[in-house]
Structure 1
Amino acid sequence: MGKHAGFLRVPHSVHDSAYGWIPVPIASIRNGAGPVVLLLAGVHGDEYEGQIALSKLVRSLAPDQITGQIIVLTMANFPAAEAGLRTSPIDGGNLNRVFPGDPTGTPTQMIADYIERYLLPRCDYLIDLHSGGTSLFYPPTLLRGQGYTQQEAVMLKAIQDAFDLPYAWVFTGGGGPNSTARTAMGAGNRNGVVSVMAELGGAGAVTPSILAQTERGLRRVLHRLALLSGAGPVPQNKTREMHALGTICIYDRGVFEPVKDIGDDISEGEVSGYVLRLDRPLEAPTEVISSFTGTILCKRPLGQVKCGDVVYQVAADTT
């Protein structure tokens, strides 16, 4: 019971620390019997809104404000978060691509194993906070499945409504106890945990308005799950439900000139932007053509591009 904070110790024997370990910060707030929720941030280290929001939430909540338990990892892949990188500088690991992990593997694999085998089996709910990181920018968007059972479907929609973000990306497949996804949400599904994720800004920066929406949404969700007392629902905005159609990629090298922004409509065959070779000012730019008809859901904020980079994600309304 009460509020506690400490570290998960990931063994890491190296040249200058033979018996060393990597400290993964963890906090718990518990009071009485009730639901248990795991809140994750820093799965990718260059995604900041979630890390800030969870740090502020842990500081602000007192045990007598909740019923149940809130478990928080503010910097889930600590080496990546400490370095401000998407992946771990120790082993190159992308934590959201290695679940279920390996207890005798690399540090990133060990972190994934602990979350999947020891934390998630204790939980009823998982909320995994992300952003577009350095290379993408998303408007505040909740990501969820359709629900493996009718009961789960109802709860996922309730969490979406409570988080109350401008967009919701609803997956059209996957989920359930047989999920093979190597993500934290996949791990949650395998453990029977009602799981959602959020994309909250990006471009390697913090957007005050998105941070405010994140903090508001978290408290609304905790209240809806009967964990947080005294918050009370506030007027709900409108969430636009969408499903992803695909991405618009680059097949050249240069500087990208976008002609579309987040929320803009685009048609199959339409020019979404141009790749310019600035070292060849007389050379005509390369057109970047959309293969989809829909709405721009996320955008690459970086100017320089190379073959294989994604500059847009396109989505369509679910109804």
Structure 2
Amino acid sequence: MMPMHMQMIASPISATVDFAAAGVNHGFLRLPYSRDDAAWGSIMTPITVVNNGDGPTALLTGANHGDEYEGPIALFDLASRIKAQDVTGRIIIVPAMNYPAFGAQTRTSPIDRGNLNRSFPGRPDGTVTQKIADYFQRVLLPMSDVVLDFHSGGKTLDFLPYCAAHILPDKRQEEQSFDLVRAFGAPWSVKMLEIDAIGMYDTAAEDMGKIFVTTELGGGGTATAHTAGIAKRGVENLLIAAGVLKGEVKQQPTQWLDMPDDTCFTFAEDGGLIEFLADLGDTVEKGQPVARIFNVTRCGIKPVTVHANRSGLVMARHFPGIVKPGDCVAVVGVMIEG
């Protein structure tokens, strides 16, 4: 809960769109930002708001981390072609919510090194990243019913393309979230476990009782035709299932995975050159070697073997060829019935 004195400070961010105006409206979230090359400069985050009649509000976001591209592709595309007559209710589209990071092609902000997805509830008088988080916390999330936040692996992880929601104390909220995961129709669907949920956008939305859905669609700091296609089809399916967009859900086969506990994660205890012994989609047994790490400071040193902590399917892996101690090497999920 934000302290009372913080709640009394207005957000410095202003919208150039009217959230209540009918039709399709394109504009910006303007955050004043004084810098060396613009004393009275601003960060201009693109936003589209579509209003047509009564119905739920869907908030769609991408580039929470700036080096993840399937979300921005799907959302800039949707914003360029959506028609108000196809909408029942309201859609708020922010293709690149951490716009400074998106512009720099980095996970965190180049301005303050802030990780937006660990900055909630934010501060209206804090850093640039905290100000962005505060605006979503106090303005955009409260007016929303359904939230879809696109993620992928960025430059440091690679994932089986999946849509996900969290196990929640409120089982009705949980069921509605998983219904939308199912409608999204990614090749994989996940009951997701976070290793660090404090300060997350996900947590902020769920604590407000919102229906929250997220994705991990590939990685490596790029998007493929396959993963971008999953994102573009999935966002429309979700909006239709949520009752915000007219049409019929294009059903797609999906395999469900569960992340029951922290044994799903395998971390490096040594740094060096990584050789994977299991690929994405491979089935592994508990204790099976999944990677070897070579000490690259000299020749002749035997590599350190990294083992799976549980049996299951490799659903994520470290992406660059060099790892550091503490890096996540692999994630193993358990196949379940949806």
Give the TM-score taking structure 2 as reference length.
0.87
Task: Work out whether 1:248 is the aligned partner of 2:263.
Answer: no
Task: Work out whether 1:194 is the aligned partner of 2:211.
Answer: yes
Q: Which moved more, 1:82-91 or 1:285-294?
A: 285-294
Q: 8 Å contact 1:11–1:107 — kept in the other structure?
A: no
Q: 8 Å contact 1:120–1:188 — kept in the other structure?
A: yes
1:236 corresponds, among 246, 252, 271, to: 252
Q: 8 Å contact 2:157–2:317 — kept in the other structure?
A: yes
Task: Work out whether 1:20 is the aligned partner of 2:41.
Answer: yes
- 1:147 Cα offset (Å): 4.2
Q: Which moved more, 1:86-95 or 1:141-150?
A: 141-150
2:175 & 2:81 partners in 1: Cα distance? 30
1:212 corresponds, among 208, 229, 235, to: 229
Residue 177 of structure 1: aligned partner: none
Q: Which amino acid aligns with 2:239?
A: L
Deviation digits for residues 180-200 of structure 1 (CA, Å, limit 9, x no counterpart): 741111111122211111111
1:290 corresponds, among 308, 314, 318, to: 308
Residue 308 of structure 1: aligned partner: 326
2:289 corresponds, among 271, 275, 281, to: 271
Residue 127 of structure 2: aligned partner: 106
1:251 & 1:193 partners in 2: Cα distance? 38
Residue 261 and residue 173 in structure 1: after superposition, are their counterparts in 2 closer, same or farther (change >3 A)?
A: closer
Which secondary structure does the structure 2 equivalent of 1:288 belong to? strand
Q: Any gaps of 5 or more consecutive residues in structure 2?
A: 1-21
Residue 143 of structure 1: aligned partner: 164
1:173 & 1:45 partners in 2: Cα distance? 20
Q: Which amino acid aligns with 2:281?
A: G
Which secondary structure does the structure 1 equivalent of 2:298 belong to? coil
Equivalences for 1:58-73 in 2 at 5 Å? 58-73=79-94
Give percent identity, aligned residues only. 35
Residue 41 of structure 1: aligned partner: 62
Q: Any gaps of 5 or more consecutive residues in structure 1?
A: 175-179
Which secondary structure does the structure 2 equivalent of 1:255 belong to? strand
Q: Which moved more, 1:192-201 or 1:140-149?
A: 140-149
Q: Which amino acid aligns with 1:4?
A: N
Q: 8 Å contact 1:247–1:313 — kept in the other structure?
A: yes
Task: Work out whether 1:121 is the aligned partner of 2:142.
Answer: yes
Q: 8 Å contact 2:183–2:251 — kept in the other structure?
A: no
Which secondary structure does the structure 1 equivalent of 2:150 belong to? strand
Q: 8 Å contact 2:24–2:50 — kept in the other structure?
A: yes
Deviation digits for residues 53-108 of structure 1 (CA, Å, limit 9, x no counterpart): 10001111111111111101111001100000000000000000010000000000
Q: 8 Å contact 1:146–1:156 — kept in the other structure?
A: no
Q: 8 Å contact 1:164–1:239 — kept in the other structure?
A: no
Q: Which amino acid aligns with 1:240?
A: W
Equivalences for 1:55-94 in 2 at 5 Å? 55-94=76-115
Q: 8 Å contact 2:186–2:252 — kept in the other structure?
A: no
Q: Which amino acid aligns with 1:235?
A: Q
CA RMSD between the two structures: 1.9
Residue 173 and residue 96 in structure 1: after superposition, are their counterparts in 2 closer, same or farther (change >3 A)?
A: closer
Residue 148 and residue 278 in structure 1: after superposition, are their counterparts in 2 closer, same or farther (change >3 A)?
A: closer
Q: Which amino acid aligns with 1:183?
A: M
